[in-house]
Structure 1
Amino acid sequence: MKRLCLLLIVLFVSGHAVGESFRIGDIRVEGLQRISEGNVFSFIPVEVGDQLTPAIGRSTIRDLYRTGFFSDIQLARENDTLVITVQERPAIASVTITGNRQIKNDDLMPALAGIGIAEGEIFDQLSLDRVSQELVRQYFGRGYYGVDVDTRISELARNRVGLSIIIDEGDQARIRHLNVVGNESFSEDELREDFESHTTRGLFFWRGRNQYTSEKLSGDLEALRSFYLDRGFIDFAIESTQVSISPDKQDIFITANIREGEVFTVSDVVLTGELILAESTLRQLIMVQDGGRFSRSDIEQSVDNISAILANIGYAFANVNPVPRIDRDTNEVEINFSIDPGQRVYVRRIEFQGNTQTKDEVLRREMRQFEGGWFSQAALDRSRLRIQRLGFFENVNVETNPVDGTEDQIDIVISVEEQPSGSFQVGLGYSQIQGLIASISVEQDNFLGSGRRVGFSVSRSRILTQASLNYTNPFYTDDGVSRGFFLRYTEFDQGRANISSFSTSQAAAGVNYGFPITELSFLRFGASAQRVDINLPAVFVPEDPEDPDSNIVVRVPADRPLGISLDEDQDGFLSSSERRVTTFRFDTTFSRDNRNHFLNPTRGSLNRLTAEIAVPGSSREFYKLSYRGRKYWPIGRRMAFSLRGDVSYGDAYDSYDSDLGLEAVEPVRLAGNCQLDEIVTIDQGLPFYEHFFGGGVSDIRGFDDNSLGPKDQFCRSVGGDFKVVFGTELAFPIPFVEASGTRLAWFVDVGNVFRDVDTFDSDLLRASTGISLTWQAPIGPIIINLATPLRERDGDDTQALQFTFGQVF
């Protein structure tokens, strides 16, 4: 209103300044600082030679005001010259926002720029006032009713201003009472079970559930409506909702008044329109049944099912409309699914955009929707998922565009946003069993845009030194057969890994082929050659565990894998011996994976069965079988329950049999509190360097790495031929963390390692429980376990805290 009055006054005064008409001989503009005269001339409706009248003078002032550049405009006449005197609005030199925690600057600044509040823009007080009002409204919607927004303007040199927006958010109002009035068929606890709003603070992990927001309340009211409509209450209504706030603006009181109505059952289900498919086929997709209780969610699911199956056979724009016919005299409803399939369409062209490095053929071979074929939504969805899982793209978007001039053709546009698919990493990691891990790796998953993977890595830790080179062509043939090669060299100190008192040096090379069976199933075959040098170090064996200087003579055949030979020239020191093992092996793996996420799945399962055999001609001839299973069930929207099982078994099929015992002495235990489940003195079945081991941060948590299972005479774990591990997890969200690569889970692990199947004893199973944190950090995966044993035996090496971080090769 003030601005309107000022404009009228200016127009009145200006009108008198040019009250007489005259022909303009010249135009002069005074008061300009940033805006050029040429811009002003382009804004006004007159030019030199025109006749200026009072009406045209007022129009000139209005046009200049509408530009928003000027706060004051005056017209005057000097002889035949029109003089335009202006006062420019100040420019915004800076905008600062302080005190905002709930709404970040990154969200506020673009919104302010959209209404002209940004550096370099012309300052408008009305726009700043609107900003204050909108901020208050936004905070009210989030439950901050005590918010205060103060705007300050600082005048600067050269007709500039600095804007400061100071926000005092206050505390978020909490729900003190939440009542539902009018419910007769269900208790208030049942109705509020799916509410996000609660009156109690709750556990730490859900501590914000009693904080009020309008969006949360709207969602809860919709959940209440769905609850009744899914249980047959067609006439259910929320008649009113009252939200009141305490005088101190800290407590919210919510009351929802409802009317339940009567329960309706389904009298009949009718299918009309152009069915396309057999009626019996369509009825199998309908979730509501004659005589059953009416359910809106079942009807919506039925519509989705029918639409999906029609879209999969080319009817991309099918319309399925459920029409209820309600009989309130009998409390029954007839549901008519009216089907209009529309025109059947096929795909004319598939176009890829955004793949500047990746070749088109890499994306096209992942497509399950083909050009010239009938459109299939399922095939298109699967194509998008396959492209996303390549790992080459940050985003994958799919558009279907009708072809102009036709009703039965569409074009598909796949837009991708490429991300780096190669890496050069020099990093450090740490794990309790390996200590400090130094690594360097060069990986390229999309070599020269071909989709082929090439990698080289070197890592070194306290127990492991490894170098590897690998190459994989995922589409060695057009049918999706993959082929890969690898070279690997490893030095492994078994003693420092809690396995045994020897170390190994291993060199291996191999080739593998993979064959897709279905979209979810894969079969892999591999062959490799491996040479292992086993190094047995010199040790002391004390006769008296309390007197380390009391050495005894121990004789063990030098050709035994765990044997220790005596060097007669070293006065009681036992010398090292070396054994070389050569293995030629074939392996095959069948896997089926339909998990919805690779890192932190919440739905689906993984089943993987692996078999490998060391063929005749190897130093030892053996076979190994292993199964890994994972099953996930979602609980609500952000939790998941899972079961896991790992079973491994191996045995030799040659006649090798080696005594691991000491010839000269009785078995001695170097750890006085070690309670052995079983002392292994014979190396039979799998060779000792192929044994399975149990315990560790990713195995049976709460027990030291590789510490479970059979022991030798010195209480050292030697592993076994049979291993079983079962577990369960309940994964739940971490407060204030939205990253998909992070999760917190409560777990229970059960398992152990046994000499063979015949020695399995459920009484010897170990068990643990605890909390596990997994975080996909930039340096690599971080795993932290806080565990406590549920079943243990004296002498077990337990660890309450286990962790590992960094990339471990």
Structure 2
Amino acid sequence: MKRIAALILFASLSSTAVAMEPFVVSDIRIDGLHRISAGTVYTYLTINKGQPLTAEEAQSAIRALYQTKMFSDVTLDRDGNTLVIKVVERPSIAKLNLRGNHDIKEEDLRKGLKSIGLAEGETFDRLSLDRVQQELISQYYNRGKYNVGVIPHVTKLDRNRVAIDIEIREGKVAKVREINIIGNHDFTDRQIRTGFKTDTANLTSWYSKNDQYSREKLSGDLKTLQSYYMDRGYADFALDSSQVTISPDRRSAYIDTSVKEGEIYTVSDIHLLGQLRLPEKDMRRLVFLHNGDLFSRRAVEASSDAMKAILANIGYAYAKVTPVPKLDHDKRTVDLTFYVEPGPRVYVRRIVFEGNTRTEDQVLRRQFRQLEGGYYNQLAIDRTKVRLQQLGFFKTVDINKERVNGVDDEVDLHVKVAEQSAGSLQFGVGYSQYAGIIISASVTQNNIMGTGDKFSISASKSYYYTNANVSYYNPYVTESGIGLGYNLAYSKSNYGDTYLANFETNMKSFSVNMGIPITDWDGLNFSLGLSSNRINTYDGYTPQVLTDYINKIGKKTDHSWDGTVTWTRNTKNNYWAPTHGGQLQASITAALPGSTVQYIKFFGEANHYWPVGGGYVLYLDGQVGYGKTYGKDSKYDFPFWENFYSGGVSDVRGFQQNTLGPRYCTGTTTVNGKTVPVTPNHDGYCANSYYDYAQPIGGAFKVLGSAQLFLPLPFLKDINTARVAWFVDTGNAYATVQDFNVNTLRVSTGISLQWQAPIGPLVISFAVPVREQASDKRYKEQIQFTFGSQF
């Protein structure tokens, strides 16, 4: 009705203008302006001085001024040969207030309103406000809130201004009461609704909200339903209809969907047509269907994507692969043809960097696997993006290709980064059940002067240890990516203040390390270092076996120079929360001849992540550590201060930190006239000893295995912030590799939460030992956590 009234008003004004006799305009005067300048009006006028004014031109002028939406009334009049334009300005919006909106963020809502001219400072248009009201109601309908109310209030102010207050009463989402699927005979409702986001109320609805109706969610479910059938051979499956009925109180939704299953089709033949650019046999390897297979739309799409990807890796950046299935309804077969259109082969002309205000271009350029002047290679570009993200200098990395104007075979790559601070001055207070309160301070710069070099100095202290460390590393001493670094460290630990054996270490060390890349995923690191470690034991308080070891080697200070070689292969897709890929690592450390005790220490680890569907991610990890003496010192056992330990929040959960493995008593006793060390009984109890329990000392051999299933929890949508997993851990430490026995492996299971909390990284585990021994009773610990804070 309002639009009709406006048209009637426009027609009446136009007729007034048409009734005027034509004349030559000698001057133009505008009456009624207050906020809008005359110059602004002149820019929209289609009439100029000295121009004859006809009825058609007058009508055109009125129409042009109305289209500016700045005026609610426009009339033309004549004063002699002066054209008089009388206008009534629309009011300006002095204030726009939104209230009651929770589902739609105010920032997003204001952007949408501004795009249609409804913002503070703009001219007020009643039709725009009505349009906004209807659009908001439609958006809430899409969210399942059918009893929403959007009530605009317009208040007139002085100086031709208005204040707009939009009150939104969101109401509650309509709950899905019934989902009826009609026409399915080959599969049950439960089978075909497996991947649905929409469901009726169940035990998990309180947090998953899957019983809340949403038009977008239902649309996705119908696509899932169609995919379910078409991935199982039903090539002519069809959705006949889908209807949603809302109850009179708008609080309940009833969904009815009718389907036509059709018949099961097999693939009769597969053709590749067009300009393949690669040998047909190579392209056919990328087709995931074969003659006689059940038709699968998922396999068809995957085949198309694979062919486009391989073409993009050899320069055809804009290749198209179109699958065309031809159904034979009588034979129930599909003749499948892939039409390949590679387009022109594309070269990369230039690589342009944007947003790196601190980081030098060369730091980014040396990560690139796509070269300027070379054929476009999507695989190399994707790998480059990962390498840039792994630097830790940037919040976001985007690489976009843009065609070069006037050329169809060249593109420029625009690399847009958002830098984040690569340096920090930190003071920290943390806590762990093993180390207690931890105070730390550090100065770190991972991108010195934008060069990519790394420097750090740090110190930390808990009730049982103190350490300080200074390090520097240049990852690109050479253009080929060879890195060189130095590390100076000091540490002092009193293990008697923990659950471990009562002895102290005081170590100073210096090392030089070199990194050599082998591939984009593999690298070698070589390290050579000198160290001095003083070990203090205490008669009657330290397990006798450790005191005897110090007496055997005849020195309380271990002077050593050691070399380490480490190989690492990292294919994880994310640093904090991987969902696929993994890491392999193997290292060998040798205390070289001339050291107090010559030994070799090996450590290996293999882990991998697999997405298993439905948001679940399976993670498997295995570790093994082994040490032994060699050469002139092969008569000695492996030095106990280099032992491997087992148990704790990052090891076999459910047992206290580092408490699994060999345990020994303090003191000695007399047996048959001989003085021998006290040995623990079956329960780990030590008789005639300063401590009534055996103390863990670790061992020269260790194994650890862990299986975790990360769970898709709807209220934890950002897995980079938090993850929950069900786990099973197993492992132990042994005095020697010969002592290994599968029957002595400890096993635990439980739930773990990993959270990048504002106060710092937080890990909480609830674990229950399912295989233990009587001597472990003292060391069981179901709830384990560690966290830190920086300020």
TM-score normalised by structure 1 residue count: 0.87
What displacement does 1:783 show?
Answer: 1.1
Q: Does structure 2 conserve the Cα–Cα contact (< 8 Å) formed by 1:175 and 1:252?
A: yes
Task: Provide the secondary structure at the position in 2 that maps to 1:411.
Answer: strand
CA 1:604–1:202 in 2, change beyond 3 Å: closer, same or farther?
farther
Structural mapping, 1:552-563, within 5 Å: 560=548
Which whole-Å CA distance do the structure 2 matches of 1:557 and 1:642 have between them? 39
Which residue is 1:550 aligned to?
none
Which residue is 1:672 aligned to?
none
Which residue is 1:668 aligned to?
none
Asked if 1:286 is matched to 2:291, the reply is: no
Task: Provide the secondary structure at the position in 1 that maps to 2:226.
Answer: helix
Which residue is 1:670 aligned to?
none
Equivalent AA in structure 2 for residue 806 of structure 1: G
Q: Does structure 1 conserve the Cα–Cα contact (< 8 Å) formed by 2:560 and 2:597?
A: yes
What displacement does 1:28 show?
Answer: 5.2
Equivalent AA in structure 2 for residue 595 of structure 1: K
Could you tell me which of 748, 769, 775 is aligned with 1:789?
769
Which whole-Å CA distance do the structure 2 matches of 1:102 and 1:197 have between them? 18
Structural mapping, 1:398-409, within 5 Å: 398-409=399-410
Which whole-Å CA distance do the structure 1 matches of 2:646 and 2:717 have between them? 34
Of stretches 59-68 and 412-421 in structure 1, the one that deviates more from structure 2 is 59-68
Equivalent AA in structure 1 for residue 5 of structure 2: C
Which residue is 2:119 aligned to?
118
Which residue is 2:696 aligned to?
717
Which whole-Å CA distance do the structure 1 matches of 2:263 and 2:45 have between them? 70
CA 1:77–1:252 in 2, change beyond 3 Å: closer, same or farther?
same
Q: Does structure 2 conserve the Cα–Cα contact (< 8 Å) formed by 1:561 and 1:579?
A: no
Which residue is 2:660 aligned to?
708
Equivalent AA in structure 2 for residue 465 of structure 1: T
Structural mapping, 1:279-678, within 5 Å: 279-536=280-537, 560=548, 579-653=556-630
CA 1:244–1:764 in 2, change beyond 3 Å: closer, same or farther?
same
Equivalent AA in structure 2 for residue 749 of structure 1: D
Equivalent AA in structure 2 for residue 231 of structure 1: R
Counting matched residue pairs gives 758
Which whole-Å CA distance do the structure 2 matches of 1:58 and 1:261 have between them? 61
Q: Does structure 1 conserve the Cα–Cα contact (< 8 Å) formed by 2:275 and 2:342?
A: yes
Q: Does structure 1 conserve the Cα–Cα contact (< 8 Å) formed by 2:550 and 2:556?
A: no
Which whole-Å CA distance do the structure 1 matches of 2:47 and 2:344 have between them? 59
Which residue is 1:678 aligned to?
none
Which whole-Å CA distance do the structure 2 matches of 1:136 and 1:558 have between them? 77
Task: In structure 1, list runs of 5 or more residues that go unmatched.
Answer: 542-553, 565-576, 659-683
Which whole-Å CA distance do the structure 2 matches of 1:136 and 1:223 have between them? 27
Q: Does structure 1 conserve the Cα–Cα contact (< 8 Å) formed by 2:524 and 2:567?
A: yes
Q: Does structure 2 conserve the Cα–Cα contact (< 8 Å) formed by 1:150 and 1:166?
A: yes
CA 1:90–1:495 in 2, change beyond 3 Å: closer, same or farther?
farther
CA 1:763–1:316 in 2, change beyond 3 Å: closer, same or farther?
same
Q: Considering only aligned residues, what root-mean-square deviation do their CA atoms show, in Å?
A: 3.1
Asked if 1:218 is matched to 2:219, the reply is: yes
1:246-287 Cα offsets, whole Å, 9 max, x none, are 222222211211112221112222333444433333322221
CA 1:232–1:560 in 2, change beyond 3 Å: closer, same or farther?
same
CA 1:241–1:687 in 2, change beyond 3 Å: closer, same or farther?
same
Equivalent AA in structure 1 for residue 413 of structure 2: I
What displacement does 1:652 show?
Answer: 2.1
Q: Does structure 1 conserve the Cα–Cα contact (< 8 Å) formed by 2:207 and 2:715?
A: no
Q: Does structure 2 conserve the Cα–Cα contact (< 8 Å) formed by 1:467 and 1:490?
A: yes
What displacement does 1:483 show?
Answer: 1.6
What displacement does 1:37 show?
Answer: 3.3
What displacement does 1:532 show?
Answer: 1.4
CA 1:519–1:128 in 2, change beyond 3 Å: closer, same or farther?
same
What displacement does 1:329 show?
Answer: 2.0
CA 1:478–1:183 in 2, change beyond 3 Å: closer, same or farther?
same
Asked if 1:150 is matched to 2:129, the reply is: no
1:784-808 Cα offsets, whole Å, 9 max, x none, are 1122222333433222222112279
Which whole-Å CA distance do the structure 2 matches of 1:329 and 1:540 have between them? 89
Which residue is 1:108 aligned to?
109
Which residue is 2:650 aligned to?
698
Asked if 1:806 is matched to 2:785, the reply is: no
Asked if 1:687 is matched to 2:688, the reply is: no
Task: Provide the secondary structure at the position in 1 that maps to 2:497.
Answer: coil
CA 1:323–1:89 in 2, change beyond 3 Å: closer, same or farther?
closer
Which residue is 1:737 aligned to?
716
CA 1:486–1:429 in 2, change beyond 3 Å: closer, same or farther?
same
Which residue is 2:91 aligned to?
90
Task: Provide the secondary structure at the position in 2 that maps to 1:212.
Answer: coil
Equivalent AA in structure 2 for residue 310 of structure 1: L
Q: Does structure 1 conserve the Cα–Cα contact (< 8 Å) formed by 2:18 and 2:59?
A: no
Task: Provide the secondary structure at the position in 2 that maps to 1:495.
Answer: helix
Equivalent AA in structure 1 for residue 249 of structure 2: D
TM-score normalised by structure 2 residue count: 0.89
Of stretches 426-435 and 592-601 in structure 1, the one that deviates more from structure 2 is 426-435
Which residue is 1:227 aligned to?
228
Which whole-Å CA distance do the structure 1 matches of 2:76 and 2:268 have between them? 81
Which whole-Å CA distance do the structure 1 matches of 2:279 and 2:761 have between them? 51
CA 1:247–1:528 in 2, change beyond 3 Å: closer, same or farther?
same
Structural mapping, 1:253-264, within 5 Å: 253-264=254-265
What displacement does 1:52 show?
Answer: 6.8
Could you tell me which of 749, 766, 772 is aligned with 1:769?
749
Task: Provide the secondary structure at the position in 2 that maps to 1:737.
Answer: coil
Which whole-Å CA distance do the structure 2 matches of 1:68 and 1:110 have between them? 20
What displacement does 1:355 show?
Answer: 2.6
Which whole-Å CA distance do the structure 2 matches of 1:50 and 1:340 have between them? 58
1:595-636 Cα offsets, whole Å, 9 max, x none, are 111211111221111111111211222111111121211022
CA 1:126–1:723 in 2, change beyond 3 Å: closer, same or farther?
same
Which whole-Å CA distance do the structure 1 matches of 2:106 and 2:496 have between them? 55
1:522-551 Cα offsets, whole Å, 9 max, x none, are 22111111111224468779xxxxxxxxxx
CA 1:57–1:298 in 2, change beyond 3 Å: closer, same or farther?
closer
1:341-378 Cα offsets, whole Å, 9 max, x none, are 34333333333333332222222222222233333222
1:381-407 Cα offsets, whole Å, 9 max, x none, are 222222222222222222333445554
Task: Provide the secondary structure at the position in 2 that maps to 1:194.
Answer: coil
Q: Does structure 1 conserve the Cα–Cα contact (< 8 Å) formed by 2:502 and 2:541?
A: no
Which whole-Å CA distance do the structure 2 matches of 1:781 and 1:227 have between them? 41
CA 1:612–1:294 in 2, change beyond 3 Å: closer, same or farther?
same
What displacement does 1:27 show?
Answer: 5.6
Which whole-Å CA distance do the structure 2 matches of 1:337 and 1:705 have between them? 59
Task: Provide the secondary structure at the position in 2 that maps to 1:92.
Answer: strand
